Amino acid sequence: MIRDLVLVGVAYLLGSIPFGVLVARTQGGVDIRRVGSGNIGATNVLRAVGKGAAAFTLLADVGKGALPVALGRWLGVATPVLATIALAAVGGHLFPVFARFRGGKGVATTLGVVLVAMPVVGSLLSLIWLAVATLSRYSSLASLTASAALPILTWVLDGRPAMLALSGALLVLVAFRHRENIARLLAGTEAKLGQKVRVSNGQILK
CA-CA distance, 72 to 117, in Å (whole number)? 9
CA-CA distance, 132 to 129, in Å (whole number)? 5
- Residue-level pLDDT at 63: 96
- Residue-level pLDDT at 192: 81
pLDDT average, residue stretch 150-175: 96
Contact 26, 52 (CB under 8 A): no
- Exposure b/e, 171-199, CB count within 10 A at least 16 = b: bebbbebbeebeeebeeeebbeeeeebeb
List, for residues 67-85, the tens digit of each pLDDT value.
999 999 999 999 999 999 9
Contact 21, 32 (CB under 8 A): yes
Average pLDDT over the chain, rounded to an integer: 89
Q: HSE (CB half, 13 Å, CA atoms) of 188? A: 0
CA-CA distance, 167 to 156, in Å (whole number)? 12
Contact 185, 142 (CB under 8 A): no
Provide the 10 A C-beta neighbour count for residue 23: 25
pLDDT average, residue stretch 25-31: 83
- Residue-level pLDDT at 194: 62
Taking Cα atoms as reference points, which of 122, 69, 103 lies closest to residue 174? 103
Q: pTM (2 decimals)?
A: 0.89
Binning pLDDT at 50, 70 and 90, where does residue 196 land?
A: low
